[in-house]
């Protein structure tokens, strides 16, 4: 008897060892003998029927679903289908091997994801589902074990579609040697799928369960439920989660599929709006700056740029200040004494004699005799025709205060700290 490790299927797929076994068949790691370094996954689906009509029907459905998997393999986050064939009344699918780990390894008990991590996870898987649904395909078995984290690029990959399993189950072979042949996982399956009515939004429900696991750190079977409404009551287990994200997740896992999101596009739209809110929430609102309390924090590069801009400006200001400083000052207006008492005669002031030291004492010039009239009375001399003669008849100028600063004094220069922006 040939052991599994020595078995060759499809003419050139060498079975290396068994990876797993389920209700519909067995999964093997294989190698293509016609290509170097080409390890693949071979899925053997068990189905036997003594009814020729059922056998023919299953063969036709298998052919159709395999062709669908070929189209889905065009997406980078879905394993491509390398080959499919029937051999010894068994169906075989040969698919790409995804090197990495299952998402279930990241959902460890007690570990709670951050909100942005859950949003990223949901968006990534929803975009894969969006592509699948446009091809008219429903995955039917979304769970952490069927989502792989690819090692080479850390992207999520959706594996193990339930479409081919549905073919075998729909053909009437639901009891294969006592194996469990249901094509869903109870903790992740919505009520309508359990009742046999699978919808496109049936794939949204299990993804919402995974989101609750990530936010609460609970296993799927331990998520609390309202016994009356059958809705999940998980928010108390994750009080750190925002209401907006919790509302999105709640709508993903509605027990009634008609109250659930109708399509993955609807979920993606709400997640995009939620991300905008989160981004705005992370922006720090700076308090108003009080005058004289501004703290300037600049990087080295900013300081260098600022010095290059301010240096020429300060040089111009310094030059202008020095220029103004050395300008000749204007003489202040002479102070004019209060007008004399009108009762006293106005006497024209005579020029004061310049005092001199005794060594340089000079004789005073002889006084000029006053002219006399013909009557012998002394007469005042006629005023000379110069500017001083009119000064007596002019109103005295108002006195100016010496406290007024001269025009040449330099004013203070103020740089407002508000004009400097925080470049940190």
Task: Check pLDDT > 90 for residue 410.
Answer: no
Map out the domains of the chain with their CATH numbers. Answer: 1-97 (3.30.200.20), 99-285 (1.10.510.10)
Tokens of 36: 């170097």
DSSP-derived letter for residue 378 is: B
pLDDT digits over 234-250, tens only? 999 999 999 999 999 99
Task: Check pLDDT > 50 for residue 383.
Answer: no
The H-or-E segment that residue 389 falls in is helix 387-391
Residue spans of alpha helices (H) in 135-174: 163-170
Dihedral sign of CA atoms 260, 262, 263, 267 in order: negative
Q: How many of the other CB atoms lie within 10 Å of CB of 112?
A: 16
pLDDT digits over 323-339, tens only? 666 656 555 554 444 45
Tokens of 351: 């020029």
Residue 323 pLDDT: 61
Nearest-10 Cα torsion for 321, 325, 327, 329: 130
**Of 2-16, 80-94, 122-136, 391-405, the least confident:** 391-405
Name the β-bridge partners of 87: 90
Task: Check pLDDT > 90 for residue 381.
Answer: no
pLDDT digits over 281-323, tens only? 544 444 444 444 334 444 455 555 566 666 777 777 776 666 6
The residue to which tokens 């649904």 are assigned: 133
Q: Which residues are catalytic?
A: 141
């Amino acid at each position: 008897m040939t052991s599994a490790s020595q078995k060759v299927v499809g003419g050139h797929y060498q079975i290396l060892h068994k990876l797993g076994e389920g209700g519909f068949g067995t999964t093997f790691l294989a190698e293509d003998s016609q290509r170097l370094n080409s390890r693949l996954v071979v899925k053997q689906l068990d189905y036997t029927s003594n009814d020729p009509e059922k056998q023919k029907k299953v063969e036709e459905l298998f052919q159709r679903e395999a062709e669908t998997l070929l189209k889905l393999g065009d997406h980078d986050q879905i394993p491509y289908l390398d080959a499919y064939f029937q051999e010894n009344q068994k169906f075989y699918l040969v698919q790409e091997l995804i090197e990495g780990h299952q998402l279930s390894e990241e959902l460890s008990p007690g570990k709670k994801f951050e909100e942005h991590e859950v949003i990223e996870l949901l968006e990534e898987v929803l975009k894969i589902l969006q592509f699948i649904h446009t091809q008219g395909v429903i995955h039917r078995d979304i769970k952490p074990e069927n989502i792989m984290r690819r090692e080479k690029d850390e992207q999520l990959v959706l594996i193990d579609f339930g479409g081919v399993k549905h073919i075998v189950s729909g053909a009437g072979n639901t009891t294969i040697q006592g194996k469990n042949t249901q094509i869903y996982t109870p903790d992740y399956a919505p009520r309508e799928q359990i009742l046999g009515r699978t919808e496109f939004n049936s794939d949204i429900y299990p993804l919402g369960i995974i989101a609750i696991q990530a936010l609460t750190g609970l296993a799927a079977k331990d998520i609390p439920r309202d016994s009356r409404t059958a809705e999940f009551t998980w928010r108390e287990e994750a009080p750190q989660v925002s209401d907006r994200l919790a509302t999105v997740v709640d709508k993903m896992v509605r027990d009634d599929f008609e109250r659930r999101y109708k399509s993955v596009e609807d979920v993606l739209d709400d997640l995009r709006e939620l991300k905008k809110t989160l981004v705005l929430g992370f922006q720090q609102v700076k308090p108003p700056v009080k005058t004289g309390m501004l703290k300037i924090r600049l990087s080295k590069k900013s300081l260098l740029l600022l010095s290059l801009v301010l240096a020429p400006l300060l040089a111009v200001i310094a030059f202008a200040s020095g220029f103004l400083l050395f300008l000749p000052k204007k003489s202040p207006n002479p102070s004019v004494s209060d007008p004399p008492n009108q009762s006293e005669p106005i006497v024209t002031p005579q020029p004061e004699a310049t005092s001199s030291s005794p060594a340089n004492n000079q004789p005073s010039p002889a006084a000029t005799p006053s002219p006399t009239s013909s009557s012998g009375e002394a007469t005042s001399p006629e005023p000379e025709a110069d500017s001083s003669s009119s000064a007596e008849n002019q109103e005295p100028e108002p006195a100016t205060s010496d406290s007024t600063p001269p025009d040449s004094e330099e004013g203070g220069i103020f740089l407002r700290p508000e004009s400097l922006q925080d470049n940190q």
